[in-house]
Structure 1
Amino acid sequence: MTTGVRRWLLAASALAATVGFASPAAAAPSQPLEYVNLGDSFSAGSGVFPVAATQVAKCMQSEQNFSHRIAQQLGYRLTDVSCGGAKTQDFYAPQFDGTRAQLDALTPTTELVTLMIGGNNNNTFAGAMAACIGAMVSNPVAQTPCQAQHGAKLAEPIETQTYPALVKALSDIHDRSPQARIFIAGYPWLLPASGSCYPQMPVAAGDVPYLRALQAKLNDTVRRAAKETGATFVDMSQVSEGRDGCKPVGERWIEPMLFATQPVPVHPNAEGERAIAAEMLKAIG
């Protein structure tokens, strides 16, 4: 290297330092994106092993739920406070000893929020299944004993109570984390559009469409609440068609009430959580 070239390189290096340029090796390492997951047992992956050690055992939060999969794939820093049995009210107060109000996990610097919530409000899912199982037991020869007994009563609280609760919860997430992108998923189908798989799902065949319509009502309520508050709705209905709890092992994403392969029935199995993660990732982009 000639003396002139050497002097030119030294001068160029000095100029770069003066104007603030730095080599890639000297650049400060970027911080992982701050990611918070909220919600209920579908969000927690309750029933899918192994159980996460970072949440109390009562929540049955899985290390393989969709948020853990998203964080692992994208390299995000995850705070997961989802908990089995959660309602929107548990966003504002501790659900169990050792938990905190879920919204307390949010900060002004949170950049991504995912959640599933609403199915436990007004005991919608568990209450409807119990009501329809009871109706079939009390009138085993009827075609639609649950619909005949309850009519529109099971769906009414979804509009009058769950919808405003969802709007408030999503609005409060925005307020606490104004920079965050918010993604709320609908629930994958628990039952087929028609038919029956008694005794795995012990409800009358005629009440299967009745329960399916109830879930469709809830999912549409989640969608409308997301639209109202500027959150992104992740629709699971199309991709989960044919993956309900009446399908055999290997095909289903939802475990049935009886003969389930995990301790929490009528919930997503590992494949179901993987599918929710895949749809969430598509939406996140």
Structure 2
Amino acid sequence: MVIRAFRGGRVAAVAVASGAALAGLAAPAQATGQPLPYVALGDSYSAASGVLPLDPSASPLCARSTKNYPHVIAERTGAALRDVTCGGAQTKDFAGAQYPGVAPQLDALGADTRLVTMTIGGNDNNTFISTILACAAAGVLSAGQGSPCKDQNGTKFSDDIDTKTYPAVKAALQAVRNKAPDARVAILGYPWIMPATAQSGCFAKMPIAKGDVPYVRDIQTHLNTAVRRAAAETGATYVDLAQASEGHDACRASGTRWVEPALFGTNFVPVHPNALGESAMADRTMSALGLG
């Protein structure tokens, strides 16, 4: 997810069978002394848009960082990474070119792919950008009081997630399965952007009205639930970041937060994971997959 208006989208218990399955997938590559073929797909939460340094092999439009969680995973495991993550990606960009010169992400997959990771869905229907912009504008106009964004929008964002985002994510995951039938596929939930309740002093960094803080959080919960459901129905592993990212939202201090705020943050793309967040996302993904 790239929020263009600003200009820059604990782990679940892992069954023993999951680790065994991964070992089975990794064995052919390891038996020949070759690293695990790994393809990273997804949006700016996968690309770490806003974190420096940028990946020189990527289009500048993707704002892909060499510190994104796929690079961290590859560095820690020795996997052979093909990274096609791109800021602003939607599910439609799996099958179609997102930008001129940027190939459809599915083109990176093949019969030899053994591991695929991604975050995707947050940009479909402009869910993240529309939520943040609408609720920030409403928060400023209300001087941070009440729940103006919820009052104005109701269930609109959640309804779009149910009727549009969920089936699109499910279809994207199935397309990945079709292109890489022998790969282990993992899709990450999005780490918390907002805390569960309004935090003192956070309005200066995230101008969301007090009553809309739980509303924004609920929209993100809704999105992650849709992603989890799509994963379960396509045989993918869902990497749950809800418990792990609690207390690391954009309202926290630098060095604690995993997601940078809209204002006074350190990333050149706001409301996105920082390097600490990307490293934590790598940790949770490796744990969920039994890697390392």
TM-score, with normalisation over the residues of structure 1? 0.89
- Per mean C-alpha deviation after superposition, the further-off stretch among 139-148 and 76-85 is 139-148
Identity, % of aligned positions:
51
Give the drift of 1:187: 0.3
- Give the direction of change, closer, same or farther, for the CA distance of 1:141–1:276 in structure 2 (3 Å limit): closer
Give the letter for the 2:248 counterpart: R
Query: What is the aligned residue count?
Result: 258
Q: 2:115 maps to which residue?
A: 112
Matches within 5 A, 1:1-285: 30-140=33-143, 142-196=145-199, 197-285=202-290
Distance in 2 (CA, whole Å) between partners of 1:184 and 1:72 is 19
Q: Which sections of structure 2, spanning at least 5 residues, go unmatched? A: 1-30
Pick the structure with greater CA Rg. 1
Q: 2:19 maps to which residue?
A: none
Once the two structures are superposed, what CA deviation does each residue of 1:250-283 show, in whole Å capped at 9, x if it has no partner? Answer: 1111100000111011100000000000001101
Give the letter for the 2:159 counterpart: E
Distance in 1 (CA, whole Å) between partners of 2:112 and 2:163 is 33
Give the letter for the 2:34 counterpart: Q
Distance in 2 (CA, whole Å) between partners of 1:65 and 1:158 is 26
In structure 2, the residue corresponding to 1:209 is in which secondary structure? helix
The higher relative CO (CA closer than 8 Å, separation ≥ 6) is in 2
TM-score, with normalisation over the residues of structure 2? 0.87
Distance in 1 (CA, whole Å) between partners of 2:235 and 2:262 is 35
The alignment's C-alpha RMSD in Å is: 1.1
Give the drift of 1:98: 1.8
- Give the direction of change, closer, same or farther, for the CA distance of 1:77–1:193 in structure 2 (3 Å limit): same
Give the drift of 1:139: 3.2
Once the two structures are superposed, what CA deviation does each residue of 1:5-36 show, in whole Å capped at 9, x if it has no partner? Answer: xxxxxxxxxxxxxxxxxxxxxxx951111100
Q: Which sections of structure 1, spanning at least 5 residues, go unmatched? A: 1-27
Moved over 4 A (4+): none
In structure 2, the residue corresponding to 1:233 is in which secondary structure? strand
Once the two structures are superposed, what CA deviation does each residue of 1:159-192 show, in whole Å capped at 9, x if it has no partner? Answer: 0000000110000101110000000000000000
Give the drift of 1:61: 0.4
